[in-house]
Amino acid sequence: MIDLKKDETFLARWLNGELTEIDLKEFEKHPDYNFYVKLKQSTEHLPSLAYDVDTHLQRIHDNKERKETKDSKKVFRLFPVLAIAASILIIFGLFFYNPDTTISTGHGQMLTVDLPDGSQVMLNAMSQVVFNKRDWNAQRSLNLIGEAFFKVTNGNTFTVHTKHGDITVLGTQFNVNVEDSFFEVSCYEGKVKVKSATQEKILVKNQIFRSIKNTPQDFSSQLQEKPTWIDNTSSFSSVPLNTVIQELEDQYNIKINNSNLKLDILYTGTFPNDNLDVALRSVFSTLGMNYRLSENKKDVMIEK
């Protein structure tokens, strides 16, 4: 009798029709012979999965190009870094008059700032933080205009001052978005205390505080691991249209003529921060509006 435990390649050779007449005759007497024949027959004609070669090849060419433009964008973004380095130098020169450090981003820029204690602030476009380096360890507090994502290291209280209220934490990750009439704090980790003009609230992981025109909103949404704008996508969930428009203008340095728009309707959706055409289409087409982009790509007319 054939010992399948002893001959370690027997079945492989059988499947391939490499056995000698004698071995084959022997194998036919094996109690499992019928099973293997059935297994062989039933797997003989399994069709291979379809694969759309052309689509996948196209996707590779698209993606490798996007990667290249992304790289060039990275190079371009060195300019704000240089600008900031220069402004820090100037500020350093004025150290005795004004010890505050101001860091701001322009249209479509994004910037990560390392604070003296190792905490991190990631600034979205058209945003600004002001903090005092010298007193940092005694008092961890900064002023924010615009939108930023914070990763705070453990330590004493960390405070973000905004015109709509203060946010205090001990060590956590959270996002703050301050616009003229819109204020939103999202807690990604730990605990955050938000103190606005009208109320005080403690947020835990995955909770969001939002107020529109100083009126707190009852609002909840599922948060991802980090804000989407860090990956170059702006996303909105039931946000007033004027906030969305403001974000488009901040990201792309464009002016949107909004006289034909109802600015307080709520918008839910996303747009990319690195492709103006797609971004405009994403926002206005979903709202059923026609728009026209001027020749120099600076002005957008809404044509209702």
Partner 1 sequence: MQNEEGTICNERIFNDFFKSNARLLRNYLYYKFGDLDQAEDLVQESFIKLWNNCSKVSTGKAKSYVYTVATNLGISITRHQKVKFKYQDYVKHVKSDVDNQSPEFLALEDEFKVKLDNALAKLSDRQREVFLLSRIDKKTYKEIAQLSDVSVKAVEKLMHKALLSLRESIGNI
User: Residues 20, 21, 29, 43: which binds partner 1 (CB under 8 A)?
Assistant: 43
**Coil, strand or helix: which one is 61?**
helix
Contact segment (CB under 8 A) with partner 1 among 38-46, 96-104, 109-117, 239-247 equals 38-46
Which residues between 50 and 109 bind partner 1 (CB under 8 A)?
50-51, 53, 56-57, 59-60, 63-64, 67
Contacts (CB under 8 A) with partner 1, residues 158-197: none
Q: Among 25, 28, 32, 199, which residue sits at the site for partner 1 (rule: CB under 8 A)?
A: 32
CA angle 123–127–133, rounded 5-degree value: 70
CB of 226 to partner 1, least distance (A): 18
Give the nearest distance from C-beta 64 to partner 1 in angstroms.
Answer: 5
Stretch in the footprint of partner 1 (CB under 8 A) among 45-53, 133-141, 257-265, 278-286: 45-53
Of 1 and 60, which has the nearer Cβ to partner 1? Answer: 60
Phi, psi of 176 (to 5 degrees): -125, 130
HEC string of 144-186?
A: EEEEEEEECCCCCCEEEEECCEEEEECCCEEEEEECCCEEEEE
Q: Nearer Cβ to partner 1, position 65 or 135?
A: 65
Cβ 149 vs Cβ 230: under 8 Å: yes
Restricted to residues 1-30, the positions that interact with partner 1 (CB under 8 A) are 4, 7-13, 15-16
What is d(CA 192, CA 204) in angstroms, rounded to the nearest whole number?
6
Contact call for residue 47 and partner 1 (CB under 8 A): yes
Nearer to partner 1, 63 or 224 (CB): 63
Residues in binding contact with partner 1, number by CB under 8 A: 34
Shortest distance in whole angstroms from residue 227 CB to partner 1: 23
The secondary structure of residue 118, as a DSSP letter, is S
Q: Report whether 147 contacts 127 (CB < 8 A).
A: yes
Cβ–Cβ under 8 Å, residues 208 and 201: no
Where on the chain is the footprint of partner 1 (CB under 8 A)?
4, 7-13, 15-16, 32, 35-36, 38-39, 41-51, 53, 56-57, 59-60, 63-64, 67
